[in-house]
Chains A and B, each alone.
Chain A
């Protein structure tokens, strides 16, 4: 058994209730969390208040719905990966400022239709594109594998009616239309469990339209 001898201690501290300091810090955090739950829609599961497993209002019951707006049309979108952390924080503790910040990021970007197509077909389409994006002529090295042969036909893809955000410096083929939007609507919801009859019911926490004319909806 290792017996350790303390090399350093402050004198007379045994009289000072030093053990209260962590408890004071804990209570400060708890008070802050209570305030944020009460006034800023923080989920009780987070923030250091020890409210986990006490309510259905957990991070997984929070929903962020985002719609890009063009005229009368509203297109729902998946939150792009680069904004997932922001979206997660918005779900936990929504605020108009955070919604506006995310909204401005989204309308600053370009969007393209999202087609589901197999990876091989995507590769073939890019290589055969006239601008060929700097890809060298591989025809001499394709060899006898028929799978390497490119076909000039419609490439199989599924029109999902989804949009995806174009990343910076991303290359697309010319035929794909880049879309820009002037407004985006962001909505934060939370659902609760109704026991009888059993159902999940979503209720809006906050709604905001960000764009040329900002509008708070709820």
Chain B
């Protein structure tokens, strides 16, 4: 996505990246994964298929079908992926598909973050820091944070895990278990809580407002910051990749290193998958 690229070239890049996303991070059930893999292969072998609306209609239908069958089990980004496939299909029916995709991408980012912020504001256990205190204490992805910055010891973590198992075990009749925490964890959780609310609110506002506004001109910086800081911990890489594709799609040429940064984030998110927890 460099200055001077035609809309067709930009569209081709977005479609190729979307195919990679479908190949690597779509539904793992066979009735989605197998047909999607075949279709993506065909799209790489026969480039003309990439801009064929009927082709994307088939992809969209398969993705929506998979979502419907696993409605209560799938993660949110699978829904977002379905909307994105639908956007591509509909955009390809028009004379200016890249323009449509660009506008939809901006709107999708805006509303995803708006919804995320709304949920955080209405959830009492988010605002008071409980959610992150719980996550840092119990979620393996936050373990390194708990040990290095929260003042938690391995034996405390083990105690907490045993306590949780006692509560959730099939034969448990307990309704409360004590766990261990530290003042460091409480401080950390409150800090992360407000950081998350502020950053996601800024992103939502930046992407909702018209492109001429000052905050909207810098919206890519905010989104890139979010991706860099979030995905070391919330390792939902498919969501990260989709946000990068949406970011690239809506990018308007203002800062010439933004597109390269978005592309580099694809690599960075894969680097995040290294087992860093085991190394430190």
Contacts and interface: CB of A to CB of B under 8 A. Distances in A.
Given A23-B111, A50-B116, A193-B133, A200 B92 contact: no
B108 interface: yes
Contacts of A50: 76, 112, 115-116, 119
Interface in A11-25: 13-14, 18-19, 21-23, 25
A3 B97 contact: no
A38 to B, nearest CB: 10
Interface in B68-108: 71-76, 79, 83-84, 86-87, 90-97, 100, 103-104, 107-108
Contacts of A113: none
Given A8-B52, A9-B93, A200-B177, A48 B170 contact: no
Interface residues of B, number: 73
A65 B179 contact: no
A92 interface: yes
B170 A200 contact: no
B100 A56 contact: no
A55 B115 contact: no
A87 B9 CA distance: 48
Contact of B95 (A7, A13, A19, A52): A13
Given A29-B79, A49-B119, A54-B120, A89 B73 contact: yes
Contacts of A166: none
A18 B91 contact: yes
Contacts of A56: 125, 130-131, 134
A46 B73 contact: yes
B201 to A, nearest CB: 13
B172 interface: yes
B227 to A, nearest CB: 14
Interface in B145-173: 163-164, 167-168, 170-172
A85 B208 CA distance: 39
Contacts of A194: 130
A195 B130 contact: yes
Interface of B: 6, 8-9, 11-12, 47-48, 50-54, 67, 71-76, 79, 83-84, 86-87, 90-97, 100, 103-104, 107-108, 111-112, 115-116, 119-120, 123, 125-126, 128-131, 133-135, 137, 163-164, 167-168, 170-172, 174-181, 186, 196, 234, 236
18 contacts: A3-B12, A8-B53, A9-B95, A18-B93, A23-B107, A26-B111, A54-B131, A56-B125, A56-B134, A63-B172, A65-B170, A192-B125, A193-B125, A195-B133, A195-B181, A198-B181, A200-B164, A200-B179
Given A23-B111, A193-B125, A195-B128, 18 more contacts: A2-B47, A4-B51, A7-B51, A8-B93, A9-B94, A19-B90, A23-B107, A26-B83, A26-B108, A47-B72, A49-B119, A50-B115, A51-B76, A51-B123, A52-B75, A88-B73, A198-B178, A199-B178
